[in-house]
Amino acid sequence: MTRVGSVELRLVTLPLVRPFRTSFGEMREKVCVLARVETDGAHGWGECVADVEPTYSEEWNDGAWSLIRDFLAPAAFAAGDLDADDLASVFAFVRGHPTAKATLENAVLDAELRARGRSLAEYLGAVRERVECGVSVGIAPSTEALLEQVSGYLGEGYRRIKLKIEPGTDVERVRAVREANPDILLSVDANAAYRLADVETFRALDAFDLLMVEQPLHHEDLWEHSLLQKQISTDICLDESIRSAADARAAIELGSCRIVNVKQGRVGGVLEARRVHDVAQELGVPVWCGGMLETGIGRATNLALAALPNFRLPGDTSATNRYFAEDLTEPLVLAPDGTLPVPGGSGIGVEPDPDRLEAATRRAERIVPARR
Ligand code: NPQ
Ligand code: MG
């Protein structure tokens, strides 16, 4: 048991090594909220996976900031003695906002584990010391540029290539990458850019032996995904549509997907992410670890999660240099075999460099309990 004594929020920005384009927009820099909590005798870090705008989900950085400042942090202060495990019920009065909740819950769990000298990976039930990594390749300006990026990543050792797709260029781009690389693990991610009426596009993609097609339809839909899955042979993987372990159960039972992308931020933190993992395992469905271009803080958190047994496919747990020239923490470096080590130190096992953190900070605010 411990008490949350303060929450420091920071808005940080890091330039990306190349623009990252998806069907919902283009990013040139990573902008996110970090939380540093102080508990009795320890501190912990949490990274919010929201973006500047509410385009991937309904959450965004400034919204997460006010929610944490005005509702979540005060609720955590008022709860008094607690374990990170208790926060889901402390935060239950706030509907939705899983990524804001995850930020604080992950930070408190990190502090709790640092105080006990235990690693997050061991606490969650990790069964491996290294995880296999894939890479998510943004929508490129041309097919030639895409092929060049893909061969670069394969040369670095990445074990799976995921192509971001959008209507218009999808089949042609996937065909080109598959013809140039007949034997690689290849998947696509639509970020909800299609409708059920586009079934012919997915039938055409069935020809390319894809590992999966990720989130083809609406971000809140399960029913139409179940109808689409019946009409195509490629496995559907859901990302945006899975916001909890209950969603995962519903999606699997409905036949809406045969694979689940687990992002701890999207489902409200690593504790709920472990429950998503467990539900999928019980129902015989493999999961893999998604990514949100996290700084080293979120990236280390993801690596601990990806070490659980039912994470059976390479994740979007790419190395630091996939996204950043310089990170807030020490870089995570891909081994030639396409794996990254699971951090073994206390808590998430990484700490931001104070100078780099300061240089990346655009805004900061310290939240403490109101005096009574
Ligand atoms: C996906 N990630 O699987 C996401 C898309 C994404 C690695 O493809 C801030 C907010 C940054 C939302 C980066 C990858 C994001 C973001 C990527 C979403 O769909
Ligand atoms: Mg996705």
Residue 325 CB-density burial (10 A; 0-12 exposed, 13-18 middle, 19+ buried): exposed
Q: Which residue(s) pair with 310 in the sheet? A: none
Confidence bin at 372 (pLDDT 50/70/90): low
Nearest CA to ligand 1 atom 16: 292
Is 239's C-beta closer than 6 angstroms to any atom of ligand 1? yes
Is 293's C-beta closer than 6 angstroms to any atom of ligand 1? yes
**Can you tell me whether residue 306 is helix, strand or coil?**
helix
The ligand placed nearest to the CA atom of residue 293 is 1
Length of the chain equals 372
CA of 136 relative to ligand 2 center, distance in Å: 9
Ligand 2 ion: residues within 5 Å (CB): 189, 214, 239
Q: Which residues contact 182 (CB under 8 A, 6 or more apart)?
A: none
| Mean per-residue pLDDT, 306-335 | 97
CA of 42 relative to ligand 1 center, distance in Å: 31
pLDDT tens column, 218-257:
999 999 999 999 999 999 999 999 999 999 999 999 999 9
Task: Report pLDDT for 371.
Answer: 79
**Ligand 1 probe mutation, 293, 302, 317, 320, most atoms within 8 A of CB:** 293
Mean pLDDT value across the chain: 98
Do residues 364 and 325 lie in contact, with contact meaning Cβ atoms separated by under 8 Å? no
Nearest CA to ligand 1 atom 7: 291
CA of 368 relative to ligand 1 center, distance in Å: 32
Is 73's C-beta closer than 6 angstroms to any atom of ligand 1? no
What span, in angstroms and rounded, lies between the C-alpha atoms of 296 and 284?
31
CA 71 distance to own-chain centroid: 24
pLDDT tens column, 331-355:
999 999 999 999 999 999 999 999 9
DSSP labels, 127-138: --SEEEB-EEEP
CA of 27 relative to ligand 1 center, distance in Å: 10
User: Counting atoms of ligand 1 from 1, which one is nearest the CA of 290?
Assistant: 3
Active site residues: 164, 263
What span, in angstroms and rounded, lies between the C-alpha atoms of 327 and 21?
20
